[in-house]
Amino acid sequence: MWSGLAARWLLFILLCCAPLAQAMESVSAAQLPPEARATLHRILHDGPFPYARDGIVFGNYEHRLPQYPRGYYHEYTVKTPGRHNRGARRIVCGPRLKCYYSGDHYRTFRRIRD
């Protein structure tokens, strides 16, 4: 019985007393770096994509985007000037082109406004 009561108290604390999540910042497409605008243009026009991993499923393992079933989000590389690999910048999109920009390899996201 004690473990059930303890579990209920823990659930209460997590649901009622945890700090509320902050609203996600947004950015207009015009405010994105030029390379991100180019990637967004390719997404809107179904390619072509320069990286083999562009369009793969994004797992949202960090839980920094709204939670949806696996397969909802897809990720695309944003070229980083001076880097010879994929770098850290990404655009992640869900259906209806609800897209997010990360300049730091998924640590933070900003919702891309139209």
Active site positions, annotated: 75, 105
- List C-alpha distances in Å: 107 to 37, 73, 101, 104: 20, 16, 11, 6
Quote the radius of gyration of the chain (alpha carbons, Å).
18
User: Cα dihedral angle (35, 39, 40, 46), rounded to 10 degrees?
Assistant: 160
Q: Give CA–CA dist 111/97, Å, rounded.
A: 11
